[in-house]
């Protein structure tokens, strides 16, 4: 039994743009915070905070790309 998979976007173009902007903003925030942490000499464990920012960036990007 074969079936063809058709991906139908379930969000509008406006929502896709919003998710891309969200991904870019969280990526930039993560990079700025990383630079601040590196320049201030903070310990390595403080960089774990960046997981939340980079996770938001990745989710925003993939949701934009897949239109989900």
Q: What is the mean pLDDT of each run of 10 residues along the chain (68 residues)?
A: 66 88 95 96 92 94 85
Cα dist. 18→25, 27, 62, 67 in Å?
10, 14, 12, 11
Question: CA angle, 38 as apex, 59 and 47 as ends, to 5°?
Answer: 40
Domain ranges of the chain: 13-66
State pTM to two decimals: 0.78
pLDDT of res. 7: 67
Helix orientation angle between 13-40 and 50-66, rounded to the nearest 10 degrees:
160
């Amino acid at each position: 039994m074969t079936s063809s998979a058709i991906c139908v976007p379930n969000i509008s173009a406006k929502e896709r743009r919003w998710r891309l902007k969200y991904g870019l903003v969280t990526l930039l925030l993560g990079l700025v915070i990383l630079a601040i942490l590196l320049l201030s000499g903070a310990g390595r464990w403080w960089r774990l905070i960046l997981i939340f920012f980079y996770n938001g960036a990745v989710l925003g990007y993939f949701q934009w790309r897949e239109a989900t």
